[in-house]
Copies of this chain bind each other. A is one copy, B any other.
Amino acid sequence: MAGGSEAPPLGAILAEFVAGHPRRGWDDAVESAAQRSFMNWLGCAIGAARHPALDATLAALRMLDPAPQGSVPGRNDRVDMASAALLTGMASRALDFDDLHPRTTIHAAGPVAAAVLAVGEHLGSSGRELLDALVLGVDVACRIGSTMGPEHAERGWDITGSTGMLGAAAGCARMLALDAAQTAMALDIAASQPTGLREQAGTMTEPFHVGSAARAGMMSALLAKHDFTASPRALEGPHGFVPVVSERRGWQEATEALGRRFEIAANLLKPFACAVALHPAIDAAVQLRARGVVAAQVQQLQLDVHPAALALEGDAHPRHAAAARASLAHAAAVGLLFGRAGPAEFDDAAVHRPDVAALREAVRATADPALADTAARATAVLADGRREAVHVAHAIGSAARPLDDDALRAKFASLVEPVLGPSRCALLSDACVRLASMEDLRELASLCRPSSSR
């Protein structure tokens, strides 16, 4: 297989960058993106703290009798820090409400944040150290994802799990203050451990990919700290990670503007708890509702969407939550009915509501290749013959219209209040904003536990 010989020493270059980068060392836009990505990630993790996937995983982990080293945000359980990374990474992805690095389609914060928070809580690291590790770890995962291009995911890899272990390894190496050689080793050990198949979409194993990547990356950093060895060409050699899992090797994209452009600045926070391809249609449906369209009077809901919105594996008649999160008809229906599309609008109860089912039946969707993937048109045809139309050029949450800070706080509260209560949620929200100056991450971890709030 070609591609190995002309490759740069990727592990060494990225490790030098991660180990040698100054504290912070980026502009306010990057810093804000990091703080917002973390807050969004933590909200998603806490919102899914009682997800059945976490209960099942905890039951399995209990068979190993784990040490009470680390916490799982939103729960009182304590487990060893590697298991904490696994559980938290999984939680943050379980509601499909997290984030997206659009060029690579990596849900970027998940594997890195889960791993560095677990290590940081255990070590009593500072918020500054966490943010630095998050920015650098996300950079590594997204840059390696960029070398592979869309073919990697099209082949069937769940790219968040198949690059996340590299981001988590980089982030944990930074938290552990590994030197450049050890950091390279951490990346090279992690290279052997991609987790994730797109075939798992809609099952508990899909979010497991994120947790598994977090755990694998952390363990790779711990091994590297203790003089474990791997090939210095594990990422880019002829039988190394990128050549094995990808036909494309855009090596220059891994190092382009390294230390000047930070990938986390491009990370998008999701306003709706479903596949991003459905967001423009939801936005349009929400806007129809805001203009006074009442669902009960809608005879037909015509949607013109980018072809990707119709290419998902969901269908017009979902029978459970996982299918609904990939169903254009369901997504548009709940947008019009409720004016929002959070986790509750995609759960099994929502799927089976008669009003939602009736509105799904009224959807007529057409793919329009001329539309951007952030655009949609929606036309409601009412019982009295009137028509109301909305054109969304850039959906809320896209790069042109990112979630603003108020919307992020509202999203965070919608996820965290049901688990921790409003006063604890407000404290935690403030803690996220002042994370860069927090001296000890155990303060944050403590705020994430339900018991200490009662």
Contacts and interface: CB of A to CB of B under 8 A. Distances in A.
Interface of A: 1, 52-53, 56-57, 59-60, 63-67, 69, 80-82, 154-158, 161, 188-189, 191-205, 208-209, 212, 219, 222-223, 225-231, 233-234, 237-241, 243-244
A64, A154, A191, A234 interface centre (most CB from chain B within 10 Å):
A64
A234 B200 contact: yes
Contacts of A200: 188, 192, 230-231, 234
B63 A64 contact: no
Contacts of A161: 192
Contacts of A82: 64
B208 A189 contact: yes
Nearest to A244: B156
Which 5 A-B pairs have CB atoms at the shortest separation, nearest pair first?
A: A156-B239, A65-B67, A60-B222, A198-B239, A156-B244
A199 B202 CA distance: 33
A64 B65 contact: no
Given A64-B80, A234-B197, A228 B53 contact: yes
Contacts of A241: 197, 199
Given A192-B161, A203-B229, A228-B204, A80 B57 contact: no
Contacts of A212: 192-193
A387 to B, nearest CB: 39
Nearest to A189: B205
B244 A155 contact: yes
A184 to B, nearest CB: 13
Contacts of A244: 155-157, 197, 199
Contact of A80 (B66, B69, B234): B66
A156, A188, A233 interface centre (most CB from chain B within 10 Å):
A156
Contact of A228 (B60, B219, B225, B226): B60
A228 B199 contact: no
B199 A56 contact: no
A1 B205 contact: no
Contacts of A227: 52, 56
